[in-house]
Every structure is written in C-alpha cells, then in structure tokens.
Amino acid sequence: MNTVLIIQARMGSTRLPGKSMLDLGGKPLIGWVIHRVKKTSLVDKVVLSTTQKPEDNILEVIGLEYGIDVFRGSENDLVDRYYQAAKKYKADLVVRVPGDNALPEPKEIDRVITFHKNNHNDFSSNLPDVAQHGYPHNGYPDGIGAEVINFAALKKVWDTSSHPRNREHPHTNFYENREIFKIGILECPKEIKRPEIILDINTKEQYDFISDMYEYLTDNYEEFGINEVIKWYDSVYKK
C-alpha cells in the first residue's frame, strides 16, 4: 500500500500568526516537523500541504529545502486539500500530521500505521483529541502522533461532506459517522503515557514552553524524542 504522510501547515494561524516559521533551537517549527517525520519507516512519501496564499510561499521554500514535495490547495477546505494531495500522489493510506505539533514521534506514527492496517480500519488515531469525540483519553502526550485514513474513506468524505466545519476539520467526518466508518483508537504505551505534556503550539505561552524544551534538548542530545522530553520535563522543567 502506498502510504503518504501529509503535513498540514499555513502561516495564517489566527491564534499565533506565522507559527510555522517560529525558531526552535535554530530551526523553524515546520523544519523540525519535516525532519522528524522523515524518520518513519512505514511511510513511502512525505508531502507538505499548504495554501495558495502568497504568505505561504515561504513554506514551499522550506519544504523543498528539506527535500520533500509541496502541495498547495484550499485554505479552509481541508478535506479537499487532503483529497487532492492524496489523489496526486496516488495514496492508498493518508497519514495526517498537523504542522503545529512540535515533536512528532516517528515510532508512534509507525505504530498507528501498523495498528490501522492490522485492524482493517477506515480511520485510526493516536492523537489525544479522541477524548473530545466521546472516546476515553488514550493517554498520549499532545503532539506526537498522527491520524491514518484509507483513501477510499477520504474520497467518501470528499464526495458527501458539506458542512463548512467538517470540510475544515477532516477528522470530524469520521467521528460523527461511526456507523459508516470503522474507527480505531490506539492506546498510549505505558512508558510514555503522559497526557499532561502538551507539545502542540497554538499560543505564545505554548511556544515559550516548547522553545525552552528545544533549547535544552538541542544542547544535550544529537537526536531526541518523547523519552528525552519526559526526562527534561521531570528533572528540569518541573523544578
């Protein structure tokens, strides 16, 4: 199966404009996201998906600098943007990674892909926002996982979804139609089950927190992931 990981990013965030290019340890946020997801072993292609607005030209430049393809589409119709990108790259499986998740974990992305395939799901997630959609909290830190979507299921949503909210938030189409789609929620491994840790950047406060984290991690580790984050959080940040 052709597995295409699509990073969703734009410069026009309402809560924190330009966050994709904010500096973290000497690299822009979006650069770290690309760097980390390229370490997955079950993804065939990584694509940065942004809008056609001129302000997002810089994201295309960064994506190409980091050696990945860039797809540009609708600003607010994310269902269409994902569908058109998936169609262009002939994806059988689409892996969705939000571009404001500062520390995607390659092993956990591979884990949810394997889980999705083994259970023959239409939609699978190891993002903690599942708790907002009627599922028990899966225990994951916020910002290290992904969603996996069968292309056939994404096409069905593209064909039938009409509400602006659901066109802007692809995952809601699955959670609100459980009688149609087979959904799988992956539980967090015990050793990294830290739901209080938020590695998602939506506010200046979250950026300051993650900037401090990256400053420490880049000074102390050549490569790092969620295990090093937990050590920093417990031994440095909380003190």
Could you tell me the residue range of the domain that residue 176 belongs to?
Answer: 3-237
Enter the pTM of the model.
Answer: 0.96
Q: Could you tell me if 11 and 55 are in contact, meaning their C-beta atoms sit under 8 angstroms apart?
A: yes
Report pLDDT digits (tens) over 19-28.
999 999 999 9
pLDDT at 14: 83
CA–CA distance, 148 with 127 (Å, rounded to integer): 11
pLDDT at 111 over 90: yes
Percent of the chain topping pLDDT 70: 100
Lowest mean pLDDT among 101-105, 131-135, 160-164: 131-135
For the chain, what is the domain count?
Answer: 1
pLDDT at 52 over 90: yes
Q: Is 84 helix (H, G, I), strand (E, B) or coil?
A: helix
* Reported confidence tier of residue 238, pLDDT bands at 50, 70, 90: confident
Q: What is the CATH number of the domain that holds 146?
A: 3.90.550.10
Report pLDDT digits (tens) over 29-44.
999 999 999 999 999 9
